[in-house]
Amino acid sequence: FKDNPGLGELEVIYKPFWLYDSSIEGSMVYKATKVRTWSDSKYDYCETKYYTVSVDGSVEYANVPADGSKRLDDNVMDSLEPFDYSKMLDFEPGYLSGHMAERFDVDADSNLERTKTRMLNSTETCFLSSVKGYSYVTKSSNNLKQTSRDAHYALLPVYVFSIAYGGKKYDYAVNGQTGKIVGELPFSKKLYRIWKWTRIAIIFAIIYALCFFFG
């Protein structure tokens, strides 16, 4: 696959993105337990204590990206993150010289719920990480809400290419800042069968050896 001559033309594109600033605030309630075990000369003991833990707070988000183009799958574009937004500049037409640029065909409002979900999930993870010192923690209730929201338009550098292989087209995207590559690799049934039967053979060889030496 790596030596396949079916490599399509490499496109250097400034892709449209919406960058969202927002605040998420509220509270989370967790059920938590502490488990302690010990033994003496006669018995083994297990003590379990139960707690209700409440976490309140807010998280500020800046430049949460969402793809503004329908050309590539949103999951692919999300996987290209992160971009370094500290290097962003005010737009000048000269920056596009020798490159292609796409205009957005997905407006800012269309991505509001998707980016809100990402922020809520990240906030839950942040709150959960603050609950420490317990053996087990489970979520009991969620009272988080978005309190502010703003969107900015940006063009971010992305390389796009495709490879035709085995009668199928594989699309790839590259983060123009970091070189991170995202895309689907072909699945080789032949190599999978070789890997599967090799593992089985090794397992049986180990079992046979153990039986021979210790049986």
Q: How does strand 136-165 pair with strand 100-101?
A: unpaired
What backbone phi and psi angles, to 5 degrees, belong to 96?
-90, 0
Bridge partners (DSSP) listed for residue 4:
none
Bridge partners (DSSP) listed for residue 17:
67, 154
Farthest CA pair distance, the chain: 82
Contact call for residues 24 and 59 (beta carbons, < 8 A): yes
Q: Evaluate if residue 71 carries a pLDDT over 90.
A: no
Q: Evaluate if residue 123 carries a pLDDT over 90.
A: yes
pTM, two decimals, is 0.74
- Region of poorest pLDDT, from 60-69, 114-123, 157-166: 157-166
Q: Give Cα separations from 116 to 1, 159, 207 (angstroms).
A: 39, 27, 53
> How confident is the model over 180-185, as a mean pLDDT?
86
